[in-house]
Amino acid sequence: MFPIKDDVPSRSVPVLTWGVILLSTLIFLFETPQMVHRWGFVPVRFWAGQDVLNMITYAFLHGNLFHIFGNMYYLYIFGDNVEDKLGKVGFISLFISAAMLGAFFHAVAHPHSHVPLVGASGAISGILSAYMILYPTAGIYTAVWWWIYRVPAYYYIGLWIAMQYLYALSGVETGVAWWAHIGGFVAGVPFGILGKMLGGRDGEFWDI
């Protein structure tokens, strides 16, 4: 299932959503293996008391063109509405928290790994969970082969995280950091709940 768009219009200019997309793209264009080694998240270094800052920086690095396109595309589809509801402070807090918890889950699942973790998918997973709570019945127009269906957000994102969990439990090495996705998703839940409870005036309660 490939998301085409949602049916929730943006009420403000999603400055941070576009800012993350632009920054990540610029970094990718100038990325080197040395940058990945220095700023990617490496579990063995984390458990040795290092790489704390890398729990954030890894989210702005990507492995290849397909990797960055997929992450930035999902951020483009879902990020604007979450930024609308949470405001600028809430959105960036969510992005950083989800990236960090995603890195932590990955470190717990692969404590002996020397391979740098890169990619914004953990952070974006947090945006997905917040979106699902904030806009559960929003329509996600989804391509399945050559057909397009309107799928409720709770179903689309719920199925997505269920698949991540099943892949994580399978233990099959695919090169995808499934547990980082799950950790990021967990981090987004309290943001979604808080936004649902307090977001009568979109974003304002976060931006005091």
**Domain residue spans of the chain:** 2-206
CA neighbours closer than 13 Å in the CB half-sphere of residue 70: 14
Per-residue pLDDT tens digits of the chain, which is 208 residues long: 789 999 998 888 999 999 999 999 999 999 999 999 999 999 999 999 988 999 999 999 999 999 999 999 999 999 999 999 999 999 999 999 999 999 999 999 999 999 999 999 999 999 999 999 999 999 999 998 889 999 999 999 999 999 999 999 987 677 789 999 999 999 999 999 999 888 644 554 445 4
pTM listed for this prediction = 0.92
Amino acid at 35: M
Round to whole Å and give the CA distance between 91 and 109.
27
Domain 2-206 has CATH 1.20.1540.10: yes
The span from the CA of 4 to the CA of 205, in Å, is 31
Other beta carbons within 10 Å of 182: 22
Measured at the CA of 72, the angle between CA 71 and CA 76, to 5 degrees, comes to 120
For residue 64, count CB atoms less than 10 angstroms from its CB and return exposed for 0-12, middle for 13-18, buried for 19 or more.
Answer: exposed
Neighbouring C-alpha atoms within 13 Å toward the C-beta of 71: 30
Calpha distance 125→179 (Å, rounded): 11
Q: Is the Cβ–Cβ distance between 128 and 185 less than 8 Å?
A: yes
Segments in 42-120 forming alpha helices (H): 43-47, 54-57, 65-109
